[in-house]
Chains A and B, each alone.
Chain A
């Protein structure tokens, strides 16, 4: 689980081209959007594509997305549950 969290942080920083943020500096339970990491709706689209591309897990609708995109913790749990 911890390994997946680190992988996710790497992907988010690298593929969303976040500047001035180190993967290790992202808190596991910090909000990903708005006041947390500062991601926006454009990033949400890219994040859906990245999760599909790297983990072969599809986020189908806003209910799933809203629950999964709360933080690194929730996104990790979502991916873990879908991969099984």
Chain B
């Protein structure tokens, strides 16, 4: 792609964001939701890439859907993602704006934290995960979030807009050993480390059965927990209404690994537990897993 084209696309993207911000300021969340519909239809009509990327997941979630229904599925997925982005902008721009959140399994999280072994909180690219992270402020121990650059930029942008203070400390996963050293130290202090369990972007991995086929998921979180003795809890957020969402603890366990040559198999077992939870989540909320990567061909 040429430099001029790249610059033009960046300017168009910035213009798009600013139009949405203007709508949010003038017409609120509802106004921006209305604008979202024609924007997404236009996007889907002109971008082949979005159909290709969304199909990796949607074809597995809805194997019996033909081209027309798949087009509509893509619309619903992108529309739902767009609503999450609008919510994020709305929360940032309107100081008094709030989403109502229900935490299911909060007591279990408190019990796990109280054990003092630290807690690996596994989450995924679902719902409004920044809001979900803000919701666990009440755990009484510092929260760290292991993130790669792109997620870090989005999270910082969101919390900069919101009130300037992120509810967690960011550990960069693109440094030496993928942030594992800082994460180990944090767990050693009894703190919480949140990790995205659904996107493999390098480092150790495990193969799991997910939506009817073998997929590759990251496995560093289980190794981290096994080495430090920390428990793992799976926490996934879902939007349930225009201004409401739930955050649910889907599962918790203490990963362990045996012999070195069995390590890959052991880590796979724990990654499988995560895959089962995520599969349960996407059965309930098919249009809230914002995955545009082909995990099944990695």
Contact = CB atoms under 8 A, between A and B. Distances in A.
Name the interface size band of chain B.
Answer: 20 to 34
B272 interface: no
Name the interface size band of chain A.
Answer: 20 to 34
Contacts of B182: 60-62
Given A40-B204, A42-B204, A59 B223 contact: no
B185 A60 contact: yes
A49 to B, nearest CB: 5
Interface string A7-21: 000000000111100
Main secondary structure of the interface of B (DSSP, over half): helix
A59 B227 CA distance: 15
B177 A49 contact: no
A75 to B, nearest CB: 13
Nearest to A64: B181
B184 interface: yes
A65 interface: yes
Interface in B160-216: 175-185, 188, 203-204
A5 B263 CA distance: 27
Contacts of B64: none
B224 interface: yes
A58 interface: yes
Contacts of B176: 62-63, 65-66
A68 B121 CA distance: 28
Interface string A54-80: 000011111111100000000000000
Interface of A: 16-19, 40-42, 44-46, 48-49, 52, 58-66
10 contacts: A41-B180, A41-B203, A41-B220, A42-B223, A42-B227, A42-B263, A45-B181, A46-B227, A59-B181, A60-B181
